[in-house]
Amino acid sequence: MRFLLMLSLALTVQFATAAPKGKTVIEITPDHADDWCYAVGDSVWFDVRITVDGKPLKNASVKYTFAYEKMPAYLTDKAVLADGTMRVGTAGMDCPGFLSCRVFLLDKDGRTVADNLAQAAFEPEKLRPMTWMPEDFEAFWEKAKAENAKIPMDPKVELVKDKCTDKVDVYYVRLQNFRKDNYVYGYVCIPKTGDRHPAVLYLPGAGVAKIGPSLYMAEKGVITMTIGIHGIPLDMPEENYGILKNGALNNYQYLNLDVLDQYYYKRVFMGCVRAIDYIFTLDEFDGERMMVSGGSQGGGLSLVTTALDPRVKYFVCFYPALCDHAGYLYDRAGGWPHMFDRNRAYFRTPERILNSRYYDAANFARLIRVPGFFSWGYNDLSCPVTSMYSAYNVVSAPKVLELELRNGHHRSSRQNRLADEWMLKQFYSDGENR
């Protein structure tokens, strides 16, 4: 990176005397406010505004940093904002990526009481994965699918009366997967009309939590299925999930990566395909219009499942995890679960690095040949936007990307609406449920 210049219009003076009371908002906006995008080599300015209950915070003490996404700060400074505003600038990047400006509001003792960030994009359309695809990548997964197909699905299905509505029947499903007496659990929602319907498989975000049925699209005439990935029932007492999260399933995302065939996500990927196996047994399914959808871990799984299963005709992907694990090995952001970041140097063994390439959603993205909808924000600390663009840019199929620039690791009602509209448009020529 070339030498960086920082300029500030704020004055560096003594701290304010007290932390503010009320709703504090730190708003940071790059000077290319419409799209937050810059050419490689451009400088970038960030406008900072701090308010409490909508009014400018006078004499606000702050610390601010500049960094390349997920990398250590290359500049840190402090200032007092006399009228609650300042403009700070820095030289940009000399390669595609994201540059972060982070602002910390400090109390009189110098402790952080609020913080926020904004990330400026430098030619993100040129980002590519730092991982590479092993020569036997496709053969490895074809073999895994063939082996899984030999395992009887042995479905156990129960109507869940207290979850049904006047428009939708809800079923609790258990499917055998990966090995004998290992299961995928899920809920299937089937519209009560006599028609044959399209279907969408919703894939879960990271963590260990109770998962319920998805009724919204089902009430619009779409079969929906939600699944868990951990092989545990979805109807246990709530406290059991916390026990598993902090016990047997703690840090599941790193388990057994040392051995290619035993990494935790192999069973997970096969479970996603097994769920589609089940959907294709339903008389109510039309046998053609199959979609997968998810966010975060579920977004990564939507890429993986679409690539693995040619029966998937469309996909929706919010802020995908599992993308470009190797990014950190080249001093740039990698995807969740950040397995090779600088704080996990001990994890960077040759075996794990090689094996990670077989489980990288960016490599699956290279194989996608069907239309997809993507959406994320630029300020995501959980799934770095560098890693998401790296996967998105290698998808050669038709695709849509809807940005909500200020968003972190969440999505707005607008993003949900646009995704639902896109989904219905794929399913129905007029964009309306029948």
Which tokens in the block code for residue 376?
């994320």
Residue 378 near residue 403, CB atoms below 8 Å? yes
Supply the pLDDT for residue 20: 73
- CB within 8 A of 370, min separation 6: which ones? 306, 312, 313, 314, 315, 397
The DSSP letter of residue 2 is -
| Prior bond of 337 cis (ω within 30°) | yes
- CB within 8 A of 310, min separation 6: which ones? none
Tell me the H-state helices in 213-328. Answer: 238-245, 264-279, 297-308
CA–CA distance, 138 with 396 (Å, rounded to integer):
17
**Domain spanning 137-427, CATH architecture:** 3-Layer(aba) Sandwich (3.40)
Residue listed under structure tokens 């428009």: 167
- As a whole-number percent, the residues of the chain with pLDDT over 90 amount to 93
CA–CA distance, 373 with 316 (Å, rounded to integer):
5
pLDDT in tens, 205-261: 999 999 999 999 999 999 999 999 999 999 999 999 999 999 999 999 999 999 999
Question: What's the rounded mean pLDDT across residues 34-38?
Answer: 98
Supply the pLDDT for residue 18: 59
Residue extents of the structural domains in the chain:
6-124, 137-427
CA distances from 340 to 26, 237, 324, 354, 358 (A): 31, 35, 10, 12, 15
Strand partners, 199: 223, 290
pLDDT in tens, 304-322: 999 999 999 999 999 999 9
**For all residues of the chain together, what is the average pLDDT?**
94
Residue 226's φ and ψ, nearest 5 degrees, are: -115, 140
- As a whole-number percent, the residues of the chain with pLDDT over 70 amount to 94
Supply the pLDDT for residue 429: 74
Question: What's the rounded mean pLDDT across residues 282-291?
Answer: 98
pLDDT in tens, 139-183: 999 999 999 999 999 999 999 999 999 999 999 999 999 999 999
pLDDT in tens, 176-208: 999 999 999 999 999 999 889 999 999 999 999
Supply the pLDDT for residue 332: 97
Which tokens in the block code for residue 237?
């007492």
Question: What's the rounded mean pLDDT across residues 53-67?
Answer: 97
Q: Read off the pLDDT band of 2 (50, 70, 90).
A: very low
Q: Is it true that domain 6-124 has CATH number 3.30.43.10?
A: no
CA–CA distance, 242 with 398 (Å, rounded to integer):
40
| Diameter over CA atoms, the chain | 72
Using CA atoms in the order 57, 62, 65, 69, what is the torsion angle rounded to 10 degrees? -50
- CB within 8 A of 373, min separation 6: which ones? 314, 315, 316, 317, 399, 400, 402, 418, 419, 422, 423
Which tokens in the block code for residue 127?
């980002």
Which tokens in the block code for residue 357?
């390439």
CA–CA distance, 381 with 408 (Å, rounded to integer):
7
Supply the pLDDT for residue 11: 38
Question: What's the rounded mean pLDDT across residues 67-72?
Answer: 98
Taking 90 as the threshold, does the pLDDT of residue 433 lie above it? no
- Stretch among 45-49, 60-64, 193-197, 263-267 having the lowest mean pLDDT: 193-197
Supply the pLDDT for residue 19: 64
Q: Which amino acids are annotated catalytic?
A: 296, 380, 409
Residue 302 near residue 322, CB atoms below 8 Å? no
pLDDT in tens, 4-24: 444 444 433 344 445 677 899
CA–CA distance, 32 with 126 (Å, rounded to integer):
19
CA distances from 66 to 7, 33, 84, 269 (A): 12, 18, 19, 38
